[in-house]
Amino acid sequence: MSEINLLLVRHGEASESWGNHPDPGLSDQGIKQSISLLEKNMVKSLDSYNFVSSPKLRARLTAEPLTKKFGKKLLINETYSEIPSNNIDNSKKRAWLTDLVNADIANLPENVALWRTNIIKHSLNIAQNTIIFTHFMVVNVLISALLKKNRIMYFHPDYVSVTKITFENYEVKSITLGDEKKTVVNL
């Protein structure tokens, strides 16, 4: 029996809101949060893990303390980037996202449905222990799909929370949700 662990880390607090900057780094608090990852039990032993990140700066910066500690190369994977919203006017993003998280999966816009499908497909084919530094909605998409929910939103992962999925022979064996917080998505 082959067991694979997938750790999903939500990035630290961004220096600017999602609607104001296309690719913000981390705030001072976000930097502290990324350093705090070094103390989390779930990430104490990552020698056998691949390190993967969304291309977004806040995810890559969140990964830095752990990549340095374990001497790992950070592999950038567009699959784990945030929800595609480039075609949405900044003033309408909040309403757009609210509609999306409440929508049935069958009613997602084509680009969001494809983004969701790619996350699920790629994650289910991971063949080695992997830690992925990613975004709120990416974590939600994968967990809601694995739990066979009809929406893309399942829970509110806190900044730098670690969600663990264990696969055995490519089947889900267990899911441990990361720390949860009622999060306001700043637009």
User: For 83-108, how does the pLDDT look when each residue is reduced to its tens digit (9 = 90+)?
Assistant: 998 888 888 888 899 999 999 999 99
- Please give the backbone phi and psi of residue 59, each rounded to the nearest 5 degrees, phi first: -70, -45
Give 174's strand partners.
Answer: 166
Residue 187: what residue type?
L
Residues 20, 92: Cα–Cα separation, whole Å: 12
Residue 46 identity (one-letter amino acid) = L
CA distances from 39 to 42, 43, 69, 144, 172 (A): 9, 8, 12, 28, 27
Q: In what order do the strands lie in the sheet with 171-176?
A: 74-76, 50-53, 130-134, 3-10, 162-168, 171-176
Query: What's the whole-number mean pLDDT along residues 11-19?
Result: 87
Measure the CA–CA gap between 123 and 126, rounded to whole angstroms: 5
Count of helices and strands (H, E) across the chain: 5, 6
pLDDT of 39 higher than 80: yes
Here the tokens at position 81 are 């980037």
* pLDDT for res 183: 53
Identify the architecture of domain 3-176 in CATH: 3-Layer(aba) Sandwich (3.40)
List the one residue out of 176, 177, 178, 171 whose CA is nearest residue 3. Answer: 171
Quick one: what percent of the chain has pLDDT higher than 70? Answer: 95
The total number of residues shown for the chain amounts to 187
Residue-wise pLDDT tens digits, 117-152: 999 999 999 999 999 999 999 999 999 999 999 999
Give the 3-state secondary structure of residue 102. helix
Number of other CB atoms surrounding residue 150 within 10 Å: 9
Q: Where are the domains of the chain?
A: 3-176
H or E, element range at 30 = helix 28-36
